[in-house]
Chain A
Amino acid sequence: MTGVVRGSRLGEGLRAYRLIAGMWIRSAMTYRASFVVTVCGNLAVTGLDFVGILLMFSQVDALGGWRLPEIAFLYGLSVTAFGIADLVLGSMDVLGSRIRDGSFDTLLVRPAPVLAQIGADHFAVRRLGRITQGTVVLIWALASVDVDWSAAKVLLVPLMVLSGAVIFCAVFVAGAAFQIFAQDAAEVQNAFTYGGTTLLQYPPTVFGKDFVRGVTFMFPIAFVNWVPACYVLGRPYPLDLPEWAAFAPPLVAAVCCGLAGLAWRAGLGSYRSTGS
């Protein structure tokens, strides 16, 4: 019985998400010129991001022992995964302002899960720009890296992107839950999401051991690309992890979702009992 209810709740959530995201797309389309400009601008800005890395490699041959195609591989994985999460749940940082101006209440009187409603809030197609750019870099990297491709390695690449996207989604949800407690915390959330994806663009070897330990076990974004990418590239793992750790991302993603779900529930529960 509960299984059925939960399943239908997920269905309800996805349906509500689709409806609301559609409204935001139509809203954006009412300003066509502005829409075109922001899409182009977004492509250009995210494109410049990688140009920075290219410039760096015009001066050095390797970064932390990693060569350009390998860095591009890390970059492509991280940016694509983050881009998907950003497209799906990227506007959850507006939650704080929705709570402050009281419009969060209007979502609570709708017959749809609040998480779906707030997730679809300010849905923006322009965010496809990041995914496009990440995918282009990733494809170039896959063509350039010197890897002995096995079935497992081939399978691991899409698995990494998807799990990574889910892990980032979980971070967005947890961040949103945190914003319910601390309403002005959009920047804290951004530090973890945008900050996280930026740090994953560099190889783990450039960071200190304790830091790497932190992003592996505490805030496990190392599983978005570092650990599985090391397996694909035939490099030693950043920490003394067993070989199967490369295939852990789906598991890590599932655990993250569970924890984020609990955090969200706690956050919403506290809102509804304090009415801040």
Chain B
Amino acid sequence: MDVAVDETGDAVTDGAVDGAVDGAVDAFIELDRVEKVFDVRKKTGFLKRERRQVRAVDSISFTVARGEMVGYIGPNGAGKSTTIKMLTGILTPSGGRLRVAGIDPSRERTRLAHRIGVVFGQRTTLWWDLPLIDSYKLMHRMYRIPDARYRENLDRCVELLELGDLLDVPVRQLSLGQRMRGDIAAALLHDPEVLYLDEPTIGLDVISKAKVRGFLRELNTERGTTVLLTTHDLQDIEQLCSRVMVIDHGRLMYDGPLAGLHEVGESERTLVVDLERELPPIDAAPARVVRVEGPRQWLAFPASESAAALVARVAAEYPLVDLSVREPDIEAVIAKMYAGDAEAEKAVS
């Protein structure tokens, strides 16, 4: 079946064929109980070594539809990169079934390469000593991109990523943010249907981050490119992704909209009120005062509750001068989730 599909094949046709076979028409990325077990050898003596198995990815299943933009988050060593490496064909899964655009990545790595774009945040694929444009010319030839297509894609990337003045500059002279934009463009010249980004905003300043995010959003809405990104920067997720997957210890802890993460993590919003004078802590259950500093008080309340009711109540009963509502810090929410997981594990063992 694999042989029958032609190399240059139309993506849509491929998808349809495979969809029909697999019975899931829209699933562009499919993982079914995918596992990755590493053999880790630890030195225990001069020549003695202890072998231990580590489950980097432990039976993960999910599907991503064409055109989705998904954030993949988790602490270091949670299995994020391992998952990305399996999706790109760099690593072979130890178990389970994995398909990207109907292709088994580890078996048909080079065929898949034409249909995916990969950006490794911390490793550039650009040619250090050569002008930026030379790296793009290499992509043009290596991926056999038709001339017109290449020109069109390059022009678009140059315009949106503001690379015009940088094309003739040797890559070694680019700033980190410029290089990242250059790398993203390099990954998109061959019209990939899915773009994987591993930490695309790491180390970038605020302006560069904004440019990268703006571009990715545009890419997703205009071209319908499926985007899967791993990040430590939760603002990336908040601003880009309608769907979040949280992974820890190789297991999928949460898969759903960003808002839902708050409920799962029992997150709280904070109402900050400035009163006319110092007063004892406000009594407005279920909200509770978490901090008092002179006339200013901080009230925490469940993120799922309406702020309006609470504000009305406080305003009616107390001499209110000013107030503001702070949204929950998603980082804290996730940290809480990890902590909960760790406790649960402790309880089991």
Interface of A is mostly: helix
Give the docked Cα–Cα distance between A164 and B39 (Å): 39
Which are the 8 A-B pairs with shortest beta-carbon distances? A111-B113, A27-B129, A108-B90, A109-B118, A275-B91, A111-B110, A273-B92, A272-B92
A207 to B3, CA, bound (A): 53
Q: Say how far A72's CB is from chain B's closest CB, in angstroms.
A: 39
Q: For chain A, which range describes its interface: under 10, 10 to 19, 20 to 34, or 35 or more residues?
A: 20 to 34
Looking at the complex, which one of B90, B129, B170 makes contact with A272 (CB distance below 8 Å)? B90
Q: What is the size category of the interface that chain B forms with chain A? A: 20 to 34
Chain B residues lying within 8 Å of A103, measured Cβ to Cβ, are 123
Q: Is there an interface contact between B142 and A113, defined as CB atoms closer than 8 Å? A: no
Chain A 1-41, CB-CB to B under 8 Å as 1, else 0, gives 10000000000100010011001001100110000000000
Per-position contact with A for B92-122: 1 when CB-CB < 8 Å, else 0?
Answer: 1010000000000010011101101010101
Tell me whether A111 and B114 are in contact (CB under 8 A): yes
Q: Output the nearest chain B residue to A9 by Cβ-Cβ distance.
A: B110
User: Do A23 and B138 touch across chains, with their CB atoms under 8 A apart?
Assistant: yes
Residues of B within 8 A of A110 (CB): 110, 113, 142
Query: What is the chain B residue whose CB lies nearest that of A117?
Result: B142
Q: For B111, what are the chain A residues with a Cβ–Cβ distance below 8 Å?
A: 111
A16 to B266 CA separation, bound complex (whole angstroms): 53
In the complex, B89 has a CB within 8 A of chain A: yes
A58 within 8 A of B: no
Q: Determine which of B89, B92, B128 lies in contact with A109 in the assembled complex, contact meaning CB atoms within 8 Å.
A: B89
Does A186 belong to the interface (CB within 8 Å)?
Answer: no
In the complex, residue of chain B having the shortest beta-carbon distance to the beta carbon of A273: B92
A–B Cβ pairs within 8 angstroms, 21 of them: A1-B3, A23-B138, A27-B128, A27-B129, A30-B130, A31-B129, A102-B120, A102-B122, A105-B120, A108-B88, A108-B109, A109-B89, A109-B118, A111-B111, A269-B92, A272-B106, A273-B91, A274-B38, A275-B36, A275-B38, A275-B90
Q: Which residues of B contact A102 (CB under 8 A)?
A: 120, 122-123
Instruction: Give the residues in chain A near B92, CB-CB below 8 Å.
Output: 269, 272-273
State whether the Cβ of B220 lies closer than 8 Å to any Cβ in chain A.
no
Query: A185 in the interface, Cβ–Cβ < 8 Å?
Result: no
Q: Which residue of B lies closest to A101 (CB)?
A: B123
Interface centre among A1, A31, A105 (most CB of B within 10 A): A105
* Besides A16-B142, A274-B38, 9 new A-B residue pairs in contact (Cβ under 8 A), listed by A number: A20-B138, A23-B127, A23-B134, A26-B134, A106-B118, A108-B88, A109-B90, A272-B106, A274-B39
0/1 string, B269-311, CB within 8 A of A gives 1: 0000000000000000000000000000000000000000000
CA distance A151 to B321 in the complex (A): 107
Complex Cα distance, B221 from A133, in Å, reads 60
Q: How far is the CA of A109 from the CA of B106 in the complex (A)?
A: 11
Which residues of B have CB within 8 Å of A105?
Answer: 85, 90, 120, 123
A204 to chain B, nearest CB (A): 36
Q: Which residues of A contact B82 (CB under 8 A)?
A: 275
How long is the Cα–Cα vector from A1 to B3 in the complex, in angstroms?
Answer: 10
The answer on a CB contact under 8 Å between A30 and B170 is: yes
Decide if B143 is an interface residue (CB 8 Å cutoff). Answer: yes
Taken residue by residue from 259 to 275, chain A's Cβ proximity to chain B (1 for < 8 Å, 0 otherwise) reads as 00000000001001111
A170 to B194, CA, bound (A): 37
Question: CB of A112 within 8 A of chain B?
Answer: yes
| Chain A stretch 90-117: residues in CB contact (< 8 A) with chain B | 101-103, 105-106, 108-113
Residues on the B chain within 8 Å of A20, using CB: 138
Contacting residues, chain B, for A272 (C-beta < 8 A): 90-92, 106
CB closest residue in chain A, given B187: A109
